[in-house]
A and B are shown apart, each in its own frame.
Chain A
Amino acid sequence: MFKYGLKLSLVVLALLLVIAGAAVAQDAGQLEVFSWWTSGGEAAALDALFQVYSERVPGVEIINATVAGGGGSAARPVLQTRLAGGTPPDTWQVHPGWELLGQYVAAEYVSPITDLYASEGWNEVMPQGLIDTMTQDGEIYAVLAGVHRGNGFWYNKTLLDANGITIGETMSVEEFVAAADTLKAAGIPALCVGDSGIWATAQLFENTLLGTVGPENWMKLFAGEMAWDDDLVKQAMAAYSTMLDYQNEDHSSLSWDQAVAALMDGKCAFNSMGDWAYGEFVKAGLVDNEDFGWVSHPGTAGSFVIVADGFVLANGAPHPENTLEWLKAVGSIEAQEAFNPLKGSIPARTDVDREKFGPYHNWSMDSFANDSLVASAVHGSAAPALFQQALNDAVTVFVVDRDVDAFAAALVQGAADAGMVAN
């Protein structure tokens, strides 16, 4: 009887061990690229980068490790657990600014690539203000594939024309309110918001905040030199609250792209969104400056909110040589010209052929060259993830209760928790 028992025990043990049998060997001719570009234009743009790389370095097998979910929400746990466990991918997608420096550089998960900037001549063709967001103690840690402008304010031109509203080169909050009241009289909510993922309305607040306090105070706020309950900030919160009065009722059940779709259908007029929204208009076959138009978010003309995507070299990358070649490819002129029209962003290089881009992106390139560059908090560049979460949470509550003092207090608390204090 004991014999049988032992046998059964061995069967169970063997079954568990059989599963634990195989381990995958690493191949030298590989490159693992981790990103959250999985669908549509994003995936096509990533493929364009892969093509440029494969032409430069033939024979390397690219492992395209993508995990989707709004802004990388499902991707981050995977990346973080891999980094913490010491099995990083060769390179991964990052936002410059805090996410890169405060998160990955501080934890020593990435290696500097300063030499590449010299050898590839990137120092001359990329704006210094942009390189600064990737620099710590004189070392540069990432190369950008493209730059989105976060403070766009898109509108349905046909609808506004029908209601006798014309939009100039810029727009102030007052002008928005005047237009919104006209639309309200016609029974149309002025603002399209789709905040089922809360970041869309957090971005609306972020843009309104920038419009009220201006780029210099913006820098101060995130450097801890200006308090989050400053009167100017509260003024911005009140302006945000005013804008929310004009939003569509079903905002919290729409995703951001469904809000843009509502705009195109003429159910509402304006949408505050980064220029990835441009791709939605193009997909629907609408014509620039005829069916739809854009200005900077009210009050933010003269500022360019950077939502950029770059790649890094992992500290302890399994294939460092291939990765360096990859980063060179990403920063190359042919990659930047191939990637950005598909992604809907503008190149980080300023020496590209502007003929390859449409009217919106030429407008955005002008803004990029001339305006104050500021980092986005909602997209992880301006402030620690901890503050980003606190901001999202505070906005979630504010949209319902509109309590400016509580909103300000929550941000003060978040900034303190995140250690955002003046040096």
Chain B
Amino acid sequence: MSNSAAAAAGQSVALSAGHAQHRWKGLTPFLVLLPSLIALVIFVYGFICVTLFISLSNWNTLKPDNTLRIPFGQTYVDLFSTPRFQADLRNTLVFTVLFILIATLVGLGLAILIDFNRKLFVIPFFRNVYLFPYALSFVVTGVAWRWIFNPETGINLFFDMFGINQLLASLGQAPLKPGWTTDPTVAFQLNGILEQVLGTEMRVKLGIPVALIPVAIAGMWQLSGFVMAMYLGGMTTISDEIREAARIDGATEWQVYRRVIIPLLRPVTISVVIILLHVSLKIFDLVITMSGVGPAFATDMPAIYVFETTFKATRYNLGMAAAIVMLILAAFVIVPYLARSLRQSEE
């Protein structure tokens, strides 16, 4: 649409300018983009190619070795047969779902509660506090969260303080004392079914590592305020008339949110999920300072594996292969989104 507008407007100017400049016209905006494009082609695509090449090479000591590894792609075979990397893929999947779910729900919840009480004078203060964690770095907050989730001295003390454990004791129950990040349990294991289907034994327990829950909570703490801000931004575009119309139709406040506002916020939700995805797929700082690789790799992540394999074990080819797999995982999610927005803008 803007193309035709530009063409229409351009005619009046181009009349006297002749053909030569007319041909340049399409090229000019391209030239403006060109420096950024060149930089990104080098810094993103060029570097990815180098990484891909390293992953196919024989480089697995400190000294660079640029010869191609035979058989071709063997490093990837090695990678996928490593139990630790299998656990990492499981963890990324579980963490991503868990983290996005709670961060989005909490962020939306806070946005609704704040919007509902927006006339209250303390609300801007509340909003700032919720948004504040986003200003901190994961390196910083990981340490605090590690202390908070220490099973001996962290929030578990609150269960005693608030009488929850006394209550349980009076009912003859064991006290509530979760191990949080120290808990090696993998819940909802699918190994039995999968092993029957596949007919092979699996070293890695496929299920939900319980230790990931506190990590997801810490991640939620950091980003839910940002999610809230995005939803609040979205809500300001919904005019009071729409709300009013719903109220006149007899909707309660809750129904106004559920029937009118939340559905209108769908595009915001898509942006939120994309931004959270880009955090969760890359997550590194928070996990490494909060729980490390965790008991039996319960909280290990591909980014940590890439880092340790490349720089600690100096297996450059293996580490870079894992990096390429991370990239492909990201592409799986991002490319459909980009393709969708591309289609939309063409309509």
**Interface positions of A (Cβ within 8 A of B):** 1-2, 4-6, 8-9, 12-13, 16, 73, 76-77, 80, 83-84, 103-104, 106-109, 196-198, 248-254, 385-386, 388-390, 393, 396-397, 399-401, 406
B28-41 near A? 1/0 per residue, CB < 8 Å: 11011011100100
On whether the beta carbons of B313 and A386 are closer than 8 Å, the reply is yes
Contact partners of A16 in chain B: CB under 8 A? 35, 39
Residues in A neighbouring B149, C-beta threshold 8 A: 253
Given contacts A107-B61, A253-B181, A396-B297, 9 further A-B contacts (CB under 8 A): A2-B25, A2-B28, A5-B29, A12-B32, A80-B314, A103-B314, A197-B292, A388-B312, A393-B84
Flag if A6 contacts B31 (CB, 8 Å): yes
Closest to A255 in B: B146
Chain B residues within 8 Å of A254, by CB? 150
Residues of B within 8 A of A73 (CB): 312
In the complex, what's the smallest C-beta–C-beta distance from B172 to chain A, in angstroms?
21
Ordered by A's residue number, 20 sampled pairs between the chains whose C-beta atoms are within 8 Å are A1-B10, A12-B35, A77-B310, A80-B62, A80-B311, A80-B314, A107-B62, A108-B63, A109-B62, A196-B292, A249-B179, A253-B291, A385-B314, A389-B308, A389-B312, A396-B296, A397-B296, A397-B297, A399-B296, A400-B184
Main secondary structure on chain B at its contact with chain A?
A: helix
CA of A66 to CA of B309, assembled, Å: 22
- B109 contacts the other chain (Cβ, under 8 Å)? no
Name the CB-closest residue of B to A11: B32
Q: How far is the CB of A8 from chain B (nearest CB, A)?
A: 5
Contacts A1-B13, A386-B315 given; does A253 touch B150 at CB 8 Å = yes
Minimum CB–CB distance from A282 to chain B (whole Å) comes to 24
Chain A hits for B10, CB < 8 A: 1
Taking a contact as CB atoms under 8 Å apart, the answer to whether A253 and B146 are in contact is yes
The 5 closest A-B pairs by CB, nearest first: A5-B28, A389-B313, A107-B63, A400-B296, A77-B311
B264 contacts chain A at the CB level, 8 A cutoff: no
Contacts of B62 in A (CB 8 A): 80, 83-84, 103-104, 106-107, 109
B63 touches A106 (CB 8 A): yes
Task: Give the contacting residue for B31; candidates A5, A108, A249; CB below 8 A.
Answer: A5
Least CB distance from A44 to B in Å reads 23
Closest to A393 in B: B84
Is B60 close to A, CB under 8 A? yes
Do A1 and B25 touch (CB < 8 A)?
Answer: yes
Contact A13 B35 (CB under 8 A): yes
Contacts of B292 in A (CB 8 A): 196-198, 252
Most chain B CB atoms below 10 A, which of A5, A8, A104, A401: A5
Q: Which A residues are CB-close (under 8 A) to B291?
A: 196, 252-253
| Most A C-beta atoms less than 10 A away, residue of B24, B39, B294, B312 | B312
What residue of chain A has the Cβ atom nearest to residue B146's Cβ?
A253
The chain A residue sitting closest to B186, CB to CB, is A400
C-beta contact mask, B269-307 vs A, less than 8 Å → 1, else 0?
000000000000000000000011111110000000001
**Which chain B residues border A9 with CB–CB below 8 Å?**
28, 31-32, 34-35
Q: Once the chains are docked, how many angstroms separate the CA of A396 from the CA of B211?
A: 14
Q: Which residues of A contact B28 (CB under 8 A)?
A: 1-2, 4-6, 9
Cβ of B151 under 8 Å from chain A: yes
Tell me how far the C-beta of A35 lies from the nearest C-beta in chain B, rounded to whole angstroms.
17
**Which residues on the B side are within 8 Å of A8 (C-beta)?**
32
B64 proximal to A (CB < 8 A):
yes
Across-interface contacts of A1 in B (CB, < 8 A): 10, 13, 21, 25, 28
List the A side residues contacting B13 at CB < 8 Å.
1
A254 to B143, CA, bound (A): 11
Are A385's CB and B181's CB within 8 A? no
CA distance A252 to B179 in the complex (A): 10
Q: Which residues of A contact B314 (CB under 8 A)?
A: 80, 103, 385-386
Q: A252 — nearest CB in chain B belongs to which residue?
A: B182
Q: Is the CB of B253 closer than 8 A to any CB of chain A?
A: no
Give bound CA distance, A289 to B15, whole Å. 98
CA distance A393 to B314 in the complex (A): 15
Q: Are A12 and B36 in contact (CB under 8 A)?
A: yes
Complex CA gap A73/B314 in Å reads 12
User: When each residue 67-101 of chain B gets 1 if its CB lies under 8 Å from chain A and 0 otherwise, what string results?
Assistant: 00000000000000001100000000000000000
Q: Note all chain B residues with C-beta closer than 8 A to A386.
A: 60, 313-315
Shortest Cβ distance from residue A249 to the other chain B in the assembled complex, whole angstroms: 7
Interface string of B47-74 (1 = CB under 8 A from A): 0000000000000111110000000000
Q: Is the CB–CB distance between A198 and B182 below 8 Å?
A: no
